[in-house]
Amino acid sequence: MSLDSKTVANIATLARIRVPEADLPGLAQELSGIMTWIEQLNEVDTTGVQPMSGVLARDMPRRPDVVNDGGDPNKVLANAPEPAHGFFTVPKVVE
């Protein structure tokens, strides 16, 4: 599988990572190398095999639906880059 610069630019946008234009061809080549190596998985016959998302063959445990944590905004905001008035802040998103 060969990835071109345009595809890599698209993935980078999806992943919200800014990649300078000049770096795209090199990155495309690297990722293509990895994907080509991964291609060998196509030779495995997986007809009828159930996909496995995790190793624990059991249902997720449940707990009572109650509030069991919280009430400490200072702790929550302690590492925020620019907190204000007890909130996280982001650049303006609505004009």
What DSSP element (H or E) covers 9?
A: helix 5-14
- Tell me the number of residues near other proteins by CB under 8 A: 48
Tell the smallest beta-carbon distance from residue 22 to other proteins (Å).
13
User: What is the per-residue DSSP string for 62-95?
Assistant: ---SS--S---HHHHHTT-SS-BTTB--------
Sketch the per residue contact string, 57 through 76, with other proteins: x for CB under 8 A, - otherwise. Answer: ---xx-x-----------xx
| Bridge partners of residue 84, in order along the sequence | 87
**What phi and psi values does residue 40 have, to the nearest 5 degrees?**
-60, -20
Nearest-approach distance from CB 68 to other proteins, in angstroms: 9
Question: Could you say whether residue 81 binds other proteins (CB under 8 A)?
Answer: yes
Tell me if 19 contacts other proteins by CB under 8 A: yes
Per CB under 8 A, does 56 bind other proteins? yes
